[in-house]
Every structure is written in C-alpha cells, then in structure tokens.
Amino acid sequence: KKLSELVPRLKGMEKRKSTRRAEAHQIDALKAALEQEKKSRDFYREQAQKAEHPEVKRLFETLAEMEQAHYDLIQAQLDFIRGTGFWFGIPEFSVEGRS
C-alpha cells in the first residue's frame, strides 16, 4: 500500500489514544471523588453513632445516606466508563439518599 493510504489510519489511531488518555484522567478523578465520598460518609456515620440527641443523630444519618448516594452515582459513572456497569439500568436513582 501507498503511504498516503496509511496516513488516515494513523490519524484514527491517534484519536483512539487521545480518547484512552482522557478516559484514564476521568477514571483517576472519579476514583478520587469516590474516596472523598467514602470519607464523608464514614465521618457522618461516626458522628451519628456519637450523637446523643435523636434529631442530631438522624441528621448525621441522613447526611451519611446522601454521601452513599453520591458514592453510588460516581461508582456507576466509573463502571460505565470502564464498560463494567449499566448507567441507565439503575432504578429510581437519587443523589439525595432515599428515592
């Protein structure tokens, strides 16, 4: 084949490499977000266990549920990018905790 016939293929390959690099950056950012949501959730759970007043306890439990919902949403996005999950297959998904 002529070199000119190969050039479009090489350009296509470069585009795929660029897409993979962008996905790798997204994955790194999502992993960091997952860790932050987990830390926040665990903090609120710990505070709920320590709380003596029922309303304060419930507030921290609600905040922990919200952080868990955020974690689940980020995990779903991560699974989607990796091709290991179903983004639109989540029934009644809510970022505010209970649906």
64 contacts 41 by C-beta, under 8 angstroms: yes
Q: What is the pLDDT of residue 49?
A: 98
In a domain, 58, yes or no: yes
Q: How many domains does the chain have?
A: 1
Nearest to 48 by CA among 70, 71, 26, 68: 68
Range of the domain at 62: 3-82
Q: What is the pLDDT of residue 40?
A: 96
87 contacts 76 by C-beta, under 8 angstroms: yes
Alpha-carbon distance of 60 to 53, in angstroms, equals 11
In a domain, 92, yes or no: no
Q: What is the pLDDT of residue 82?
A: 84
Q: What is the pLDDT of residue 84?
A: 78
In a domain, 89, yes or no: no
In a domain, 90, yes or no: no
- Round the average pLDDT of the chain to a whole number and report it: 81
pLDDT tops 70 at residue 83: yes
Q: What is the pLDDT of residue 22?
A: 73
| 6-33 residue pLDDT tens | 666 665 555 666 667 777 889 999 999 9
In a domain, 88, yes or no: no
Q: What is the pLDDT of residue 92?
A: 45
